[in-house]
Amino acid sequence: MSRGEVTIIRDYFVAHPVGTTALPPGIAKKLARGQPLPPGIAKKMAPVELRQRVPVCMNGWECILAGADMLILDAVHGTIADIIRGVVR
């Protein structure tokens, strides 16, 4: 993910806070690039308006919210491709 895309994501959540609850510590520790999405995390898609602004979210990747983090998932393999930590407000 490019620095520009991360800036778009951060700016979006500053302007459009969605409110979030923290993930349980055990689940939060399991979030890692290249790993499958841990069980117990409900997929909450990133807002459509944001997905339309971030190219990676429109090119076959899933952009979901997990606690205060945004995850980019490889939908084919079911693994976490990237994590933007502490971005959701």
3-state DSSP helix/strand/coil % of the chain, to nearest 5: 30, 25, 45
Helix (H, G, I), strand (E, B), or coil: what is residue 71? Answer: strand
State residue 7's pLDDT score. 95
State residue 85's pLDDT score. 92
| Domains in the chain: ranges and CATH | 3-84 (3.10.450.160)
The answer to whether 84 touches 9, Cβ cutoff 8 Å, is yes
**C-alpha triplet 79, 83, 40: angle, nearest 5°:** 60
State residue 48's pLDDT score. 94
Q: What is the pLDDT of residues 31-83, one digit of tens each?
A: 999 999 888 787 799 999 999 999 888 877 999 999 999 999 998 888 999 99
Tokens of 81: 């491709």
Q: How far is 37 from 45, CA to CA, in rounded Å? A: 14
